[in-house]
Amino acid sequence: MSRRWKLICVPTVIVTVIICFTSTYLLLVKGTNRWGSGRGLRVNQNTRRTGVETTRNFSRIGNREEKTRENITKVVDREQNKILMTNSAAVAVCCTDLMNLDKDKAVIIGRRRKNKGFLTIGIPNTPRSFGKSDLKRTLKSLIQNTPNDLGQSHVSIVVFASALDQSTRLSTRDIVAGFPEHVQSGLLQLIEAPRSFYPNLSALTGSDLYNRVKQNVDNAFLLAYAMDSADFYLQLSDNVRAPSNYLQSIRDFIKQQGGAYWVTLEFYPVGFTGKLFHGGGRDMQQLIHLFTEYAREQSVESLFGHFKDLNVQLRDAVRRPPLFAS
């Protein structure tokens, strides 16, 4: 009996020791807490709005952030490809062709830059339901504070007007034409969306709904025009002023992010104004899609918030104090 007991116990003890040693080795040396689980990504579901927050337990954060973003992007793209069926007939997809926009035809005053620059600034000038438009003051502050060497080749200011807003459209033309030197250099451009671009807005009931849809579609047109013209795109409004160091401040804030992942940097705290994006690529395409596909359901500001959530930007990158003043 004693010999049989030894034959049973000795192998059992050996196997137990091997298992314990292997588990300890994996945990302390390989950095795993399970067999084959890898270094892992811990996910906490109790987060702001989207419920997605990641705590990273590895040194190469950038690579894992990019992988996480790619996974989320697949879900986002799949969700965005669903067509809204309820009450969406009035907002037909007017912008399915925006990726093939004839940009030369869109230019009314000025000329398009052929070479990609550092920054394109987009300013929609449309009738406002509140507040006051002061486009001339905004343009003057930007132009005066853009060094000549940069303005000639690295910066573009694109003003948007709509063919649906006749009086605003004409006044915008007069204002932009008042800067002939900068129009000639290519620093300043005026673009217009033609009537044929818009869906049947007359079918919309209520001024709030009309304004919401039109604002979304206007911004989609502006983004589509500007998206691949520079490394970065900055959205402004027609009632803010730029400080003397605005370009250097933007460069510095971009550098401060280091290798951290971001989809937008914020230089003004209100609405969609003062938001900086990477030029070209899927980020601006995604914004255009949101503004057109969900034009009826959400405001520009709400859709911008969803854009950040969908892209899992874990923190708001807000410059303090704000760079632009109203």
230-253 pLDDT per residue, tens: 999 999 999 999 999 999 999 999
Q: What pLDDT band is residue 3 in, cutting at 50, 70 and 90?
A: low
Reduced 3-state DSSP string for 256-320: HCCCCCCCCEECCCCCCCCEEEECCHHHHHHHHHHHHHCCCCCCHHHHHHHHHHHCCCCCCEECC
Hey, is 30 helix, strand or coil? Answer: helix
With 90 as the cut, is the pLDDT of residue 254 above it?
yes
Residue 299, class by beta-carbon neighbours within 10 Å (0-12 exposed, 13-18 middle, 19+ buried)?
A: middle
With 80 as the cut, is the pLDDT of residue 54 above it?
no
Could you tell me which residues come within 8 angstroms of residue 233 by beta carbon, excluding any fewer than 6 positions away? 119, 120, 121, 122, 223, 226, 227, 276, 277, 278, 279, 284
With 70 as the cut, is the pLDDT of residue 34 above it?
no
pLDDT value for 14? 62
CATH number of 89-318: 3.90.550
pLDDT value for 293? 92
Residue ranges covered by each domain of the chain: 89-318
pLDDT value for 126? 84
181-227 pLDDT per residue, tens: 999 999 999 999 999 899 888 888 888 899 999 999 999 999 999 99
Query: Is residue 234 within 8 Å of 267, Cβ to Cβ?
Result: yes
Average pLDDT over residues 79-103: 55
Q: What pLDDT band is residue 313 in, cutting at 50, 70 and 90?
A: confident
61-75 pLDDT per residue, tens: 445 555 555 555 555
With 90 as the cut, is the pLDDT of residue 93 above it?
no
Whole-model pTM: value is 0.73
As a whole-number percent, the residues of the chain with pLDDT over 70 amount to 68
Q: Which residue has the higher pLDDT, 6 or 224?
A: 224
